[in-house]
């Protein structure tokens, strides 16, 4: 298999404000381009695009190509598992939504310590083993958002795990909270191949400070900023697949162009990335990937990632002497809760895969932008 997977979590949409309205016509063309260039791995999940992603995978892929010509990966949302029977109920619903009789890769979704307890309580991994024995899940594993200590505990508890999906990118590699390097090395030690998610860190590695972008462009003006990040992940020996959430044909053309005949990073390119990491770390205040996992549980419905994006832009703009972020913030808070509405319940921090100190950062946002 070629090392690029099509992530179905940021598909093209017809309405920017409604993630469930997927642009099927554009999606079909993207799938065709992907398959035409020899890529075959598709990654979806029950919860993506307001639970529509699996259905659109069926429409754009399963109903249009022979089943053996592609691989489908999907995931069980453990926050919806409230009893042992829910494992089978959700799995069967996913088979139906995707229009398939088996999954090539089936995962427990976004594992952390809380979900590890749910999986143990309701026998979710045991259920995956049963589906594998029945031929309905050909490879079983989990996607992971925790530290290396928890990962070790899970790999010891579930030695039948066949692969692990990790958040891994050049910025998180040395991040002491995310521990991408430690987790990758642990998987290698346990002989578990790694599937990489968020190689471009939710798009933030294409919105790098100008100085960092210039370094990459000066080194090679012919390639995109995203290509540096995707190739970084794919260059690791134990990485079997790199997922990229592509939102339009331009992303598809770009990603497939450099991954069709993939070449690992050279030493010179690695040196450029090391300098880029230094620049980014010194310029971005809040390392939010805009995944949105924090928003659903917020009792005040604070649009956390939007405020962090504004806050980061504000600080970067202030470095250049001028920021309009306070105006944008004032407009947003006319119809949304403001950062200072936070009651510090902590739900968002538990949901954040980046382990951000959201409560503290919201105070900073309020201090800077609520003037």
Distance CA 228, CA 225 (A): 6
356 binds ligand SF4 (CB under 6 A): yes
Nearer to ligand SF4, 318 or 345 (CB): 345
Decide if residue 344 touches ligand SF4 (CB under 6 A): yes
- Residue 203 touching ligand SF4 (CB under 6 A): no
**348 touches ligand SF4 (CB under 6 A):** yes
- Residue 114 is a binding residue for ligand SF4 (CB under 6 A): no
Q: In whole angstroms, what is the distance from residue 250 CA to residue 252 CA?
A: 5
Residue from 289, 312, 323, 325 binding ligand SF4 (CB under 6 A): 289
What is the nearest approach in angstroms of ligand SF4 to the Cβ of residue 347?
Answer: 4
Rounded Cα gap, residues 96 and 286, in angstroms: 40
CB of 294: closest distance to ligand SF4 in angstroms? 3
Residue 201 CB, nearest approach to ligand SF4 (Å) = 9
For the four alpha carbons of 152, 154, 158 and 160, in that order, the dihedral sign comes to negative
Q: Which is nearer to ligand SF4, 109 or 192 (by Cβ)?
A: 109
Site string for ligand SF4, 160-179 (x = CB under 6 A): --------------------
- Alpha helices (H) along 190-266: 210-219, 225-234, 249-260
Instruction: Please count the residues of this chain forming the interface with ligand SF4, following the rule CB under 6 A.
Output: 27
Question: How many Cβ atoms are within 10 Å of 174's Cβ, its own excluded?
Answer: 14
107 pairs with which residues across the strands?
75, 141
Residue 2 or 314: the one with the smaller Cβ distance to ligand SF4 is: 314
Backbone torsions φ then ψ of 53, nearest 5 degrees: -60, -45
Residues 6+ apart with CB under 8 A from 126: none
Minimum distance, C-beta of residue 343 to ligand SF4, in the bound complex (Å): 4
Whose tokens are 């309405």? That residue is 15
The least distance separating ligand SF4 from the CB of residue 120, rounded to whole angstroms, comes to: 24
Least separation in angstroms between residue 231's CB and ligand SF4 is 24
Question: Could you give the CA distance from residue 174 to residue 327 in angstroms, rounded to a whole number?
Answer: 36
Query: Rule CB under 6 A: is residue 352 a binding residue for ligand SF4?
Result: yes
Q: Is 351 in the site for ligand SF4 (CB under 6 A)?
A: yes
Which of 266, 357 has the CB closer to ligand SF4? 357
Cα–Cα distance measured from residue 253 to residue 37, given in angstroms and rounded to the nearest whole number = 10
Applying CB under 6 A, among 80, 157, 263, 299 the residue interacting with ligand SF4 is 299
CB-based burial, 311-326: b 16+ in 10 Å, e otherwise: bbbbbbeeeeeebebe
Residues in the chain: 371
Give the H/E segment covering residue 140. strand 137-144
Give yes or no for residue 305 binding ligand SF4 (CB under 6 A): yes
The binder of ligand SF4 chosen from 11, 200, 280, 304 (CB under 6 A): 304
Binding of ligand SF4 at residue 90 (CB under 6 A)? Answer: no
Tokens matching residue 221: 């003006």
User: Nearest 5°: CA angle at 253, between 248 and 257?
Assistant: 150
Smaller CB separation from ligand SF4, 264 or 346: 346
Q: Is 294 one of the binding residues for ligand SF4 (CB under 6 A)?
A: yes
Question: 14 is written with which tokens?
Answer: 């017809």
Q: Considering beta carbons, is residue 62 or 342 the nearer one to ligand SF4?
A: 342
47: contact with ligand SF4 by CB under 6 A: no
181 by Cβ neighbours in 10 Å (0-12 / 13-18 / 19+) ranks as: middle
Chain positions contacting ligand SF4, by CB under 6 A: 288-294, 298-300, 302, 304-305, 308, 342-348, 351-352, 354, 356, 358-359
């Amino acid at each position: 298999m070629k090392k690029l997977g099509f992530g179905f979590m940021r598909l093209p949409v017809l309405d920017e404000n409604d993630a469930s309205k997927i642009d099927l016509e554009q999606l079909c063309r993207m799938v065709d381009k992907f398959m035409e260039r020899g890529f075959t791995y598709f990654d979806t999940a029950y919860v993506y695009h307001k639970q529509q992603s699996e259905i659109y995978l069926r429409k754009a892929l399963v109903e249009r190509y022979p089943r053996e010509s592609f691989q489908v990966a999907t995931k069980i949302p453990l926050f919806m598992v409230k009893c042992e029977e829910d494992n089978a109920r959700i799995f069967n619903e996913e088979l139906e939504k995707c229009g398939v009789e088996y999954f090539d890769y089936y995962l427990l979704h976004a594992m952390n310590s809380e979900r590890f307890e749910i999986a143990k309580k309701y026998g979710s991994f045991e259920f995956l083993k049963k589906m594998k024995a029945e031929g309905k899940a050909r490879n079983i594993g989990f996607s992971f958002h925790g530290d290396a200590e928890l990962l070790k505990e899970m790999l010891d508890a579930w030695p039948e795990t066949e692969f692990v999906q990790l958040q891994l990118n050049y910025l998180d590699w040395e991040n002491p909270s995310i521990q991408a390097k430690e987790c990758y090395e642990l998987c290698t030690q346990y002989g578990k191949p790694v599937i990489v998610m968020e190689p471009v860190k939710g798009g933030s590695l294409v919105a790098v400070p100008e100085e960092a972008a210039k370094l990459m462009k000066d080194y090679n003006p012919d390639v995109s900023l995203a290509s540096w990040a995707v190739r970084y992940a794919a260059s690791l020996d134990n990485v079997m697949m790199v997922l990229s959430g592509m939102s339009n044909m331009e992303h598809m053309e770009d990603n497939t162009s450099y991954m069709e005949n993939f070449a690992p990073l050279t030493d010179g390119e690695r040196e450029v990335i090391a300098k880029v990491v230094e620049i980014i770390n010194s310029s971005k205040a809040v390392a939010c990937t805009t995944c949105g996992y924090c928003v659903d549980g917020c009792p005040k419905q604070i649009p956390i990632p939007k405020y962090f994006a504004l806050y980061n832009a504000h600080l970067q703009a202030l470095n250049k002497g001028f920021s309009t972020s306070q105006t944008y913030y004032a407009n947003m808070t006319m119809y949304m809760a403001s950062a200072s509405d936070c009651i510090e319940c902590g739900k968002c921090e538990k949901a954040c895969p980046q382990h951000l100190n959201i409560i503290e950062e919201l105070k900073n946002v309020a201090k800077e932008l609520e003037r």
